């Protein structure tokens, strides 16, 4: 989309959080800024390091050696993961930034863009006098939840009480209590102060970048703008705004050839993202649901998807039936899969990237959110935007419920048609938003000008 102009001599240092759902949008932002002529330095953790071979030769990659305890990176204790990673990486980040600033030939560093989760690194850059911007890689609604978290606890919404799960959260419509990002009671206070620190540092930054767009979250973006009183740039969906970025993980590209052999609008795509594990029972029910749907499918069964197992073994008797009709892959070229005309629906955990990629690809969703912000995103998908249908969330997945949701979505009745029509509308709006004159495009142009206004 972009023209290469205006950024000569301006270098942006980007610091992504080391998980796929955070790396992808940051690298897409890097590609969009690079296409505008800005020089790119990516400072990164050694874990999930991006592969320089996948990016333009003039990017500079700076690994941060750090002593990360074994087990921390796979920990399901999110509060601990956030606090400890932030604490471990902030000092090496600050040291590297000092070294980069001291280099004569690095090109002028005009700002640091870090994932908002790296609040200590953002603080370190700010203290060195470098302008900072935070990138929120999830939704605007999720950032509003961060901002409201102490209030949600004070007002008794959290921890979630049985019997109150369907109460509306008046401060954050359209959420009900069950849609809020929850955490074990024992670490709720720690998690809340973590979020307070993230929001406080975002407030002290020069600006906040959001991977969202007006047609889906204009009201949430406005509220953030009013509350933070710093420039807020809603430039999403980043996958549509930026030139394409190659994944550093080995993808099964053969599934694209297989998709070419399938009928248009016939194949289910099933993926639960890069991070969150599911129970063995859920895995089995999912497998039966796919088998009984009698539809072709592509199912991402990555290493570690099934809690306690290195790789997912299909239940007895299912292997033959499933393998004949579908493709099981370790990692898919997801954006290309979602853009393929053979795909009819996406069974998803509603990670934010997957959700906006589904909107860009025009693929209605069958939502099975698992944790965190996925619950709230599914609420938007099914009830605010009405581009998906939910499989009952609070209970153990049953194959029959999954099959029901698939049948409802694909049915030739008003309900199914409405969802598919709404998705076409949103896909169109997402495309308009990133085109010349659209809201995300304009916001991105403003962001580039803002960055160029910093003295290097
Ligand atoms: N992804 C992919 N191939 C896969 C599964 C996921 O490329 O087989 C990508 C997907 O396109 C998205 C990211 O991994 O950009 C997952 O991010 P998301 O926010 O959806 O979920 P998370 O992994 O953070 O739970």
d(CA 17, CA 27): 11
Catalytic position from the list 44, 55, 86, 115: 115
Q: Which ligand 1 atom lies nearest to the CA of residue 329?
A: 8
Measuring from each residue's beta carbon to the nearest atom of ligand 1, which residues come in under 6 Å?
Answer: 19-21, 24, 247, 271, 273-276, 300, 331-332, 334-335, 351-354, 357
pLDDT score recorded for residue 15: 98
Q: Is 22 a catalytic residue?
A: yes
Topology (CATH) of 254-430: Rossmann fold (3.40.50)
CATH class of 5-246+434-452: alpha beta
d(CA 371, CA 184): 11
d(CA 216, CA 139): 10
pLDDT digits (tens, 9 = 90+) for 62-120: 999 888 887 887 777 777 788 889 999 999 999 999 999 998 655 589 999 999 999 99
What share of the chain has pLDDT > 90, as a percent?
A: 75
Average pLDDT estimate for 259-277: 95
Ligand 1, atom 11, lies closest to the CA of 334
Of 156, 149, 112, give the one whose Cα is nearest residue 134. Answer: 112
Structure tokens at 229: 């009183």
Q: pLDDT class for 2, splitting at 50, 70, 90?
A: very low
Answer for the pair 247, 361: CB distance below 8 angstroms, yes or no.
no
Domains 5-246+434-452 and 254-430 share a fold: yes
CA of 331 to the centre of ligand 1 (A): 9
pLDDT score recorded for residue 3: 45
pLDDT digits (tens, 9 = 90+) for 203-236: 999 999 999 999 999 999 999 999 999 999 999 9
What are the residue boundaries of the structural domains of the chain, listed by start? 5-246+434-452, 254-430
Ligand 1, atom 13, lies closest to the CA of 21
pLDDT digits (tens, 9 = 90+) for 168-182: 999 999 999 999 998
d(CA 275, CA 341): 27
Ligand 1, atom 15, lies closest to the CA of 353
Sign of the alpha-carbon dihedral angle for 216, 301, 28, 227: positive
pLDDT score recorded for residue 399: 86
CA of 21 to the centre of ligand 1 (A): 6
What share of the chain has pLDDT > 70, as a percent?
A: 97
pLDDT score recorded for residue 6: 57
pTM value surpassing 0.80: yes
Q: Is 105 a catalytic residue?
A: no
Average pLDDT estimate for 122-131: 96
d(CA 65, CA 385): 43
**CA 9 from centroid of its chain's CA atoms:** 31
Ligand 1, atom 2, lies closest to the CA of 334
pLDDT score recorded for residue 412: 85
pLDDT score recorded for residue 16: 97
Answer for the pair 13, 112: CB distance below 8 angstroms, yes or no.
yes
Lowest mean pLDDT among 187-191, 229-233, 271-275: 187-191
Locus of tokens 């991070």: 275
**CA 244 from centroid of its chain's CA atoms:** 16
Sign of the alpha-carbon dihedral angle for 415, 388, 210, 448: negative
**Omega of the bond leading into 71 within 30 degrees of 0 (cis):** no
Q: Where are the alpha helices (DSSP H) in 237-394?
A: 238-241, 254-260, 280-293, 319-325, 334-338, 352-361, 373-379
């Amino acid at each position: 989309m972009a023209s290469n102009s205006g950024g000569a001599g301006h270098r942006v240092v980007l610091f992504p959080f080391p998980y796929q759902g955070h790396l992808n949008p940051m690298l897409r932002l890097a590609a969009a800024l690079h296409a505008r002529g800005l020089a790119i330095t990516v400072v990164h953790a050694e874990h999930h390091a991006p592969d320089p071979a996948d990016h333009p030769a003039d990017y500079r990659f700076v690994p941060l050696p750090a002593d990360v305890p074994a087990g921390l990176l796979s920990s399901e204790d999110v509060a601990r993961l956030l606090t400890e990673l932030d604490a471990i990486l902030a000092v090496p980040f600050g040291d590297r930034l000092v070294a980069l600033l001291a280099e004569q030939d690095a090109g002028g560093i005009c700002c640091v863009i870090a994932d908002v989760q790296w609040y200590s690194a953002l603080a370190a850059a700010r203290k060195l006098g470098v302008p900072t911007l935070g990138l929120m890689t999830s939704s605007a609604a999720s950032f509003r939840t961060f901002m409201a978290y102490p209030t949600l606890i004070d007002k008794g919404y959290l921890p979630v009480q049985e019997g109150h799960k369907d109460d509306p959260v008046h401060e954050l419509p359209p959420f009900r209590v069950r849609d809020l990002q929850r955490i074990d009671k024992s670490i709720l206070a720690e998690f809340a102060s973590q979020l307070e620190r993230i929001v406080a540092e975002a407030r002290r930054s020069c600006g906040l970048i959001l991977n969202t767009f007006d047609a889906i979250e204009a009201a949430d973006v406005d509220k953030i703008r009013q509350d933070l009183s710093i420039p807020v740039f809603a430039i999403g969906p980043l996958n549509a705004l930026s030139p394409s970025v190659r994944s550093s993980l080995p993808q099964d590209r053969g599934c694209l050839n297989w998709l070419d052999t399938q009928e248009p609008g016939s194949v289910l795509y099933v993926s639960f993202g890069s991070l969150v594990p599911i129970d063995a029972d859920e895995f089995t029910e999912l497998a039966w649901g796919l088998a009984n749907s009698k539809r072709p499918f592509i199912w991402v069964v990555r290493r570690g998807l099934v809690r306690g197992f290195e790789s997912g073994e299909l239940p007895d008797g299912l292997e033959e039936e499933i393998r004949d009709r579908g493709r099981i892959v370790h990692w898919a070229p997801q954006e290309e899969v979602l853009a393929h005309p053979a795909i009819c629906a996406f069974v998803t955990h509603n990670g934010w990237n997957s959700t906006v990629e589904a909107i860009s690809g025009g693929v209605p969703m069958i939502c099975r959110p698992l944790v965190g912000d996925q619950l709230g995103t599914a609420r938007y998908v099914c009830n605010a935007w009405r581009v998906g249908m939910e499989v009952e969330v609070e209970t153990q997945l049953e194959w029959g419920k999954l099959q029901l949701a698939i049948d409802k979505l694909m049915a030739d009745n008003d309900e199914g048609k409405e969802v598919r029509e709404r998705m076409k509308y949103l896909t169109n709006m997402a495309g308009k938003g990133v085109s010349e004159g659209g809201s995300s495009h304009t916001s991105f142009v403003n962001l580039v000008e803002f960055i160029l206004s910093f003295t290097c």
